[in-house]
Amino acid sequence: MRRDFDLSLYFIVGPSHVAGDPVALVQAAVQGGVSLIQLRDKTSGTRQMVDSARRLLTVLNGTGVKLFINDRVDVALACGAYGVHLGASDMTPEDARRIAGDGLAIGVTVKTVDEVRRIDPAIVDYASIGGVFDTKSKQNDSAPLGLSGLREMVSALDALAPEMPRCAIAGIDLEKAGSVAACGLDGVCTISAIALAPNAEDAARAIRQTVDANKRGRESAFA
């Protein structure tokens, strides 16, 4: 099933990363060129998560920016999100697809070449590669990939599913976004570079322009 989402600038929000209400921050980030939002909430109850997701969907309505929910297939289905993002310790993509059918796009985090090779392209809609650099936003048990490790992961994904959309995550700011995107990606994923910026809209715009100038040969959906 062909999916309609844009990984160019993927922004993760949630109570662990954003102090207070994320709605205004998301509005500003989308104005600057963020193309996809993920709600990552490991602490709130289910009802609160669904309510938060619905508020974000109201903000995103009419923008073309899609909402993914981290881990929680039930929340994604309940709120009407576009997709779900799964990490290594979350539900398997196979089980998520069994529950959701074609109703959700499914993205996965991959940290090793072996994890890339285990992707089933018939089930998974995109891959997020990381962590590329050190980051304070999330605890990583493994050493950062760096650009050379990122290129190796991209090569493995090209061998498995060359058309699969892919982005990279962890420690990616304006200074690093161009070199990361140039490794054969469709975009980058960020948290702090936008969430902690003095002006989220300006920060998003600068990163988006850098990514669009360096990412692999796909036309930008953002004008």
What average pLDDT does this structure show over 174-202?
A: 97
pLDDT tens for each residue of 151-166: 999 999 999 999 999 9
Beta bridge partners of 86: 108
pLDDT tens for each residue of 48-81: 999 999 999 999 999 999 999 999 999 999 999 9
Any known ligand binding at 51? no
Any known ligand binding at 136? yes
Contacts of 206 (CB under 8 A, 6+ apart): 174
Taking the C-alpha atoms of residue 103 and residue 216, their distance in angstroms, rounded to an integer, is 28
Max alpha carbon distance in the chain (Å)? 43
Of 3.40.50.300, 3.40.50.2000, 3.20.20.70, 3.30.420.40, the CATH number of 9-214 is 3.20.20.70
Question: At 106, is the pLDDT very low, low, confident or very high (cuts 50, 70, 90)?
Answer: very high
What average pLDDT does this structure show over 173-187?
A: 98
Any known ligand binding at 31? no
Any known ligand binding at 41? yes
Tell me the two tokens of residue 184. Answer: 């054969």
The answer on pLDDT for 193 being more than 50 is yes
Any known ligand binding at 120? no
Boundaries of every domain in the chain:
9-214
